[in-house]
């Protein structure tokens, strides 16, 4: 390219020299120079026109005759066009490959453009969503699905979690929608049939609920007889006294587990009712939970730190009493579970603090302890039913392994999440993260 530039520069110098000689003969060197440069420019315009005509034909016609400069440019253009044609063919092949791959899936795959119209879908879409590409191409996806939940999900464009809906073809088919965006607001939607999973989950919930209720009566009878033997067993030997005491302890533990299972089944099976939502004094409910913890563990320090100055600084009309919208029984159960867990797993001289403060449009209710802490390996599974980070310790403290699962479900019913952080040897933090919109100003009416 440098040699071509030098050659063209030499041509300009030569033409200028010739123009000066001709102008000298004409007694007007400027006229001669201008004429020579004009001839040079006109020749380039002529060759540029031929290049433009050749490009207008897509560069597929025979390369026109030009000088070395424009011929080199055409060669470079030809190389670029050849590369673009190969890339286009490869891209077309890749698109066809992915389309064939999507056609082989049992899940529905739908591509929706920026205005919500269907651009493409696979064959499974007809069986799961009732969408046929030959019939419904360019139709609005929302008009064909007619699911308010799916429409809200797609309009919100928050696709970090899937959505479960009823199939538009049959009410007994459950679908899980997962979407993602690509290529300037195009949306790729996957719909998976989760009917069997839904049925198994329903069977599991029903089984747990029924077994829990069925166990309650015999446990009550057993516990009653054991308490009678304990209270009227003056003639019992020490061995039998210890045995009855141990049976009573395990009976109470089993009764506590049954109560937790019933409570968890209720949370899973029943949606949150509007008539259960009320305006709750957040400071009062936390104070009540802390008071219970202080009574159960008088040797441990349990206190509250509510950052009212930060709430007032938000400028949203928030002031004492700090009020939150929710179910009193559920929230008290969630906060109580976290505080009681901290009490159980903190040493006698331990310190537990219940904190409440706003952060980044979130309301944080955090329980902090300086106990033994939990290995990071266990943190992702702590909210699973019956999961225990330390089975021996949990048994010794009377835990059922259901407390954090209950907390997780309660928070989910209040649009909140449970965040857990812990360092072995330093303690743990259990944070209930609510949207700040859950807070109610004193002027708001009770729902």
pLDDT in tens, 60-115: 666 676 666 777 777 787 788 888 888 787 777 776 777 777 887 888 989 888 88
Cα separation values, 34 from 22, 37, 69, 285, 400, Å = 11, 5, 22, 94, 99
Q: What is the pLDDT of residue 419?
A: 92
Show the tokens assigned to 248: 């009573």
Q: What is the pLDDT of residue 367?
A: 93
Query: Which residues are bridge partners to 362 per DSSP?
Result: 359, 435
Mean pLDDT of the chain: 81
pLDDT (mean) for 180-185: 81
**Residues whose CB falls within 8 Å of the CB of residue 3, separated by 6 or more in sequence, listed in order:** none
pLDDT band at 446 (very low <50, low <70, confident <90, very high): very low
Would you list the DSSP string of 386-428? T--SSHHHHHHHT--S-HHHHHHHHHHHTT-EEEEEEETTTEE
Q: What is the pLDDT of residue 161?
A: 84
Q: How would you label 246-279 residue by residue, b for 16+ Cβ within 10 Å and e otherwise?
A: ebbeebeeebebbebbbbbbebeeeeeeeeebeb
> Candidates 3.30.450.20, 3.40.50.300, 3.40.50.620, 3.40.50.10860; correct CATH number of 105-193?
3.30.450.20
Angle (CA) 260-264-265 rounded to 5° is 120
pLDDT band at 431 (very low <50, low <70, confident <90, very high): very high
Q: Which of 229-238, 292-301, 369-378 has the lowest mean pLDDT?
A: 229-238
**Direct distance between the N- and C-terminal alpha carbons of the chain, in angstroms, rounded to an integer:** 77
pLDDT band at 447 (very low <50, low <70, confident <90, very high): very low
Classified by CATH at the fold level, domain 275-440 comes out as Heat Shock Protein 90 (3.30.565)
Show the tokens assigned to 14: 């030569």
Q: Cβ(175)–Cβ(166) under 8 Å?
A: yes
Q: What is the pLDDT of residue 262?
A: 79
Question: 392 pLDDT exceeds 50?
Answer: no
CA distance 289 to 167: 44
pLDDT (mean) for 49-66: 72
Give the SS3 label for residue 352. strand
- Cα–Cα nearest to 260, from 149, 386, 87, 349: 386
Q: What is the pLDDT of residue 271?
A: 67
Are domains 105-193 and 275-440 of this chain identical in fold?
A: no
Show the tokens assigned to 387: 């999961």
Show the tokens assigned to 296: 């159960």
pLDDT (mean) for 332-342: 90
Q: Where are the domains of the chain?
A: 2-96, 105-193, 197-269, 275-440
Higher pLDDT: 295 or 213? It is 295
Question: 19 pLDDT exceeds 90?
Answer: no
pLDDT (mean) for 403-411: 89
pLDDT band at 366 (very low <50, low <70, confident <90, very high): very high
pLDDT (mean) for 249-266: 80
Q: Which of 155-169, 259-273, 333-347 has the lowest mean pLDDT?
A: 259-273
Higher pLDDT: 379 or 50? It is 379
Cα separation values, 393 from 255, 386, 399, 400, Å = 19, 13, 9, 11
CATH code that applies to domain 197-269: 1.10.287.130
pLDDT (mean) for 295-304: 83
Percent of the chain scoring above 70 in pLDDT? 88
Q: Cβ(385)–Cβ(402) under 8 Å?
A: yes
Q: What is the pLDDT of residue 393?
A: 47
- Cα–Cα nearest to 161, from 417, 436, 430, 419: 417
pLDDT band at 297 (very low <50, low <70, confident <90, very high): confident
Query: Environment class of residue 2 by beta-carbon count within 10 Å: exposed (0-12), middle (13-18) or buried (19+)?
Result: exposed
Q: What is the pLDDT of residues 193-247, one digit of tens each?
A: 998 888 887 787 777 777 777 777 888 888 888 888 888 767 777 888 888 888 8
pLDDT (mean) for 342-346: 85
pLDDT (mean) for 172-185: 86
Q: What is the pLDDT of residues 110-166, one digit of tens each?
A: 988 888 899 888 888 888 888 888 888 889 888 888 888 888 888 888 888 888 888
Q: Which of 19-23, 296-300, 390-394, 431-435 has the lowest mean pLDDT?
A: 390-394
pLDDT band at 1 (very low <50, low <70, confident <90, very high): low
Question: 432 pLDDT exceeds 90?
Answer: yes
CA distance 130 to 126: 4
CA distance 58 to 61: 8
Q: What share of the chain is helix, strand, coil (3-state, %, to 5)?
A: 55, 20, 25
CA distance 177 to 275: 30
Query: Environment class of residue 11 by beta-carbon count within 10 Å: exposed (0-12), middle (13-18) or buried (19+)?
Result: middle
Q: Is 390 left (phi over 0), alpha (psi -120 to 50) or beta?
A: beta
Show the tokens assigned to 120: 């493409």
pLDDT (mean) for 384-395: 63
């Amino acid at each position: 390219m440098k040699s071509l530039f030098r050659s063209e520069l030499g041509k300009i110098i030569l033409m200028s020299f010739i123009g000066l000689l001709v102008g000298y003969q004409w007694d007007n060197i400027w006229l001669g120079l201008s004429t020579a440069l004009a001839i040079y420019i006109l020749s380039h315009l002529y060759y540029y026109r031929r290049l433009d005509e050749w490009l207008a034909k897509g560069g597929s016609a025979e390369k026109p005759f030009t000088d070395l400069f424009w011929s080199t440019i055409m060669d470079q253009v030809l190389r670029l066009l050849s590369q673009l044609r190969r890339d286009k063919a490869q891209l077309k092949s890749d698109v066809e490959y992915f389309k064939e791959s999507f056609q082989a899936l049992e899940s529905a795959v739908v591509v929706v453009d920026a205005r919500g119209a269907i651009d493409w879908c696979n064959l499974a879409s007809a069986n799961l969503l009732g969408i046929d590409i030959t019939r419904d191409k360019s139709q609005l996806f929302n008009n064909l699905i007619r699911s308010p939940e799916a429409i809200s999900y797609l309009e919100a464009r928050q696709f970090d979690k899937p959505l479960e809906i009823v199939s538009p073809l049959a009410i007994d088919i459950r679908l899980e929608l997962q979407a993602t965006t690509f290529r300037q607001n195009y949306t790729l939607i996957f719909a998976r049939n989760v009917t069997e999973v839904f049925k198994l989950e329903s069977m599991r919930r029903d089984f747990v609920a029924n077994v829990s209720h069925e166990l309650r009566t015999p446990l009550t009878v057993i516990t009653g007889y054991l308490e009678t033997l304990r209270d009227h067993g003056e003639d019992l030997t020490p061995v039998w006294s210890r045995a009855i005491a141990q049976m009573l302890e395990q009976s109470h533990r089993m009764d506590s587990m049954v109560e937790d299972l019933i409570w968890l089944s209720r949370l899973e099976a029943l949606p949150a009712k509007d008539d259960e939502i009320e305006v709750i004094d957040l400071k009062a409910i936390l104070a009540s939970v802390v008071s219970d913890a202080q009574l159960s563990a008088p040797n441990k320090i349990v206190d509250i730190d509510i950052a009212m100055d930060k709430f007032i600084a938000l400028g949203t009309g928030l002031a004492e009493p700090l009020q939150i919208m929710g179910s009193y029984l559920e929230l008290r159960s969630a906060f109580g579970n976290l505080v009681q867990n901290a009490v159980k797993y903190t040493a006698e001289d331990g310190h537990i603090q219940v904190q409440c403060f706003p952060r980044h449009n979130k309301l944080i209710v955090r329980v902090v302890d300086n106990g033994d802490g939990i290995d990071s390996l266990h943190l992702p599974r702590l909210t699973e039913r019956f999961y225990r980070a330390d089975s021996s310790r949990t048994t010794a403290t009377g835990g059922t392994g259901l407390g954090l699962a209950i907390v997780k479900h309660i928070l989910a019913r209040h649009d909140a999440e449970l965040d857990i952080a812990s360092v072995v040897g330093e303690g743990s933090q259990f944070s209930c993260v609510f949207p700040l919109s859950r807070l109610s100003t004193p002027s708001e009416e009770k729902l």
